[in-house]
Amino acid sequence: MSGKKTYAGIDLFRLIAAFLIVAIHTSPLASWSQTADFILTRVIARTAVPFFFMTSGFFLISKYGDSADRLKLFLKRTAVIYAAAILLYIPINIYNGYFAADNLLPELIKDLVFDGTFYHLWYLPASMLGAVIAWYAVKRRGFNGALIITGILYVIGMLGNSYYELVSQAPAIKGFYDLLGQVSDYTRNGIFFAPLFMVLGGWLADRSAQKSDASVKTDIIFFAVSLALMLGEAMLLQRDYNAQRNDSMYLFLVPCMYFLFRVLLCFKGKRRRELRSVSLIIYIVHPMMIVVVRAAARLLKLWNVLVGNSAVHYLAVSFLSAAFAFAAVLIWGKIGKPAKNQGKGGERAWIETDLNNLAHNVKALRGIMQKGCELMAVVKAEAYGHGSYETAVCLEGLGVKAFAVATVEEGIALRKYGISGEILILGYTSPYRARELKRYRLIQTIIDLKYARALERQKVSVMAHIKIDTGMHRLGIDAEDIRSVERVYSMRHIRVCGIYSHLCCSDSLNEEDVLFTRSQIERFHRLLDRVKKDGFDAGKVHIQSSYGLLNYPELKCDYVRAGIALYGVLSRPDDEVRNPIELRPVLSLKSKVALIREVKKGESVGYGRAFTAERDCLIAILPIGYCDGVPRSLSCKAGQAEIRGKTVPVVGRVCMDSIAVDVTDVEDIAVGDVATLISDDPQSPLCAPEAAKRSDSISNELLCRMGARLERK
192 forms beta bridges with none
CA proximity to 153, closest of 128, 203, 188, 110 = 188
pLDDT surpassing 90 at residue 195:
yes
- Tell me if 602 sits within 8 A of 613, measured CB to CB: yes
Angle at 707 between CA 703 and CA 709, to 5 degrees: 145
Residue type (1 letter), 24: I
The Cα–Cα gap between 634 and 641 comes to 11
Confidence at residue 335, expressed as pLDDT on a 0 to 100 scale: 59
The Cα–Cα gap between 5 and 409 comes to 34
Per-residue pLDDT tens over the stretch 320-376 = 999 999 999 988 876 555 444 344 334 789 999 999 999 999 999 999 999 999 999
Burial 395-418 (b: 16+ CB within 10 A, else e): bbbbebebbbbbebebbbbbeebb
Confidence at residue 125, expressed as pLDDT on a 0 to 100 scale: 95
Percent of the chain at pLDDT exceeding 90: 76
- Please state at what angle helix 388-397 crosses helix 408-417, rounded to 10 degrees: 60
Q: What length does the chain have?
A: 713
Map residue 321 onto helix, strand or coil: helix
pLDDT surpassing 90 at residue 473:
yes
Confidence at residue 334, expressed as pLDDT on a 0 to 100 scale: 65
Confidence at residue 342, expressed as pLDDT on a 0 to 100 scale: 40
pLDDT surpassing 90 at residue 501:
yes
The values of phi and psi at residue 97, to 5°, are 80, 20
In Å, how far from its chain's centre is CA 612?
47
CA proximity to 402, closest of 413, 387, 389, 392 = 392
If you average pLDDT over each of 166-175, 316-325, 683-692, which comes out highest? 316-325
The Cα–Cα gap between 455 and 466 comes to 13
- Tell me if 157 sits within 8 A of 246, measured CB to CB: no
- Tell me if 637 sits within 8 A of 652, measured CB to CB: no
Rounded average pLDDT over 664-687 = 92
- Tell me if 151 sits within 8 A of 253, measured CB to CB: no
Number of helices (H), then strands (E), belonging to the chain: the values are 25, 20
Q: What strands lie across the sheet with 617-622, from one edge to the other?
A: 595-599, 617-622, 659-662, 646-651, 640-643, 674-678, 587-592, 349-353, 711-712
Beta strand extents in 286-361 (DSSP E only): 349-353
Map residue 375 onto helix, strand or coil: strand
Rounded average pLDDT over 642-663 = 93
pLDDT surpassing 50 at residue 277:
yes
Active site residue 89: no
HSE, side-chain direction, 13 A CA sphere, residue 422: 20
Point out the catalytic residue in the list 119, 241, 432, 607: 607
Confidence at residue 338, expressed as pLDDT on a 0 to 100 scale: 46
In Å, how far from its chain's centre is CA 302?
51
Confidence at residue 65, expressed as pLDDT on a 0 to 100 scale: 62
Tell how strand 674-678 and strand 587-592 pair up: antiparallel
Confidence at residue 453, expressed as pLDDT on a 0 to 100 scale: 97
Confidence at residue 336, expressed as pLDDT on a 0 to 100 scale: 54
Beta strand extents in 298-370 (DSSP E only): 349-353
According to DSSP, residue 9 is labeled: H
pTM for this predicted structure: 0.70
Tell how strand 443-446 and strand 711-712 pair up: unpaired
Rounded average pLDDT over 116-126 = 91
CA proximity to 696, closest of 628, 657, 638 = 638
Distances (CA, A) of 536 to 37, 530, 533, 539: 72, 9, 7, 9
In Å, how far from its chain's centre is CA 404?
21
Percent of the chain at pLDDT exceeding 70: 95
5 forms beta bridges with none
Confidence at residue 214, expressed as pLDDT on a 0 to 100 scale: 52
- Tell me if 658 sits within 8 A of 622, measured CB to CB: yes
Alpha helices (runs of H) in 31-97, residue ranges in sequence order: 34-42, 48-60, 69-95
CA proximity to 451, closest of 497, 484, 411 = 484
The Cα–Cα gap between 677 and 324 comes to 45
pLDDT surpassing 80 at residue 207:
no
Residue type (1 letter), 662: D
Q: Which residues contact 330 (CB under 8 A, 6 or more apart)?
A: none
> Band of the pLDDT at 208, cuts 50, 70, 90?
low
Confidence at residue 416, expressed as pLDDT on a 0 to 100 scale: 86
Per-residue pLDDT tens over the stretch 22-60 = 999 999 999 999 999 999 999 999 999 999 999 999 989
Rounded average pLDDT over 124-140 = 93
Q: Is 618 exposed, middle or buried (0-12, 13-18, 19+ CB in 10 A)?
A: middle
Average pLDDT of every residue of the chain = 91
pLDDT surpassing 60 at residue 139:
yes
Per-residue pLDDT tens over the stretch 530-584 = 999 999 999 999 999 999 999 999 999 999 999 999 999 999 998 999 999 999 9
The Cα–Cα gap between 638 and 653 comes to 10
Point out the catalytic residue in the list 380, 467, 590, 592: 380
The Cα–Cα gap between 661 and 645 comes to 14
Active site residue 110: no
Q: Which residues contact 59 (CB under 8 A, 6 or more apart)?
A: 201, 205
The values of phi and psi at residue 3, to 5°, are -80, 25
Rounded average pLDDT over 594-616 = 92
Q: Which residues contact 214 (CB under 8 A, 6 or more apart)?
A: none
pLDDT surpassing 50 at residue 426:
yes
Asked which of 309-318, 337-346, 508-517, 704-713 is least confident by mean pLDDT, the reply is 337-346
Per-residue pLDDT tens over the stretch 231-250 = 999 999 887 667 777 888 99
The Cα–Cα gap between 430 and 452 comes to 11
> Band of the pLDDT at 713, cuts 50, 70, 90?
confident
- Tell me if 362 sits within 8 A of 395, measured CB to CB: yes
CA proximity to 553, closest of 580, 515, 534 = 580
Distances (CA, A) of 72 to 44, 60, 80, 415, 422: 33, 10, 12, 22, 31
Confidence at residue 345, expressed as pLDDT on a 0 to 100 scale: 38
Residue type (1 letter), 480: E
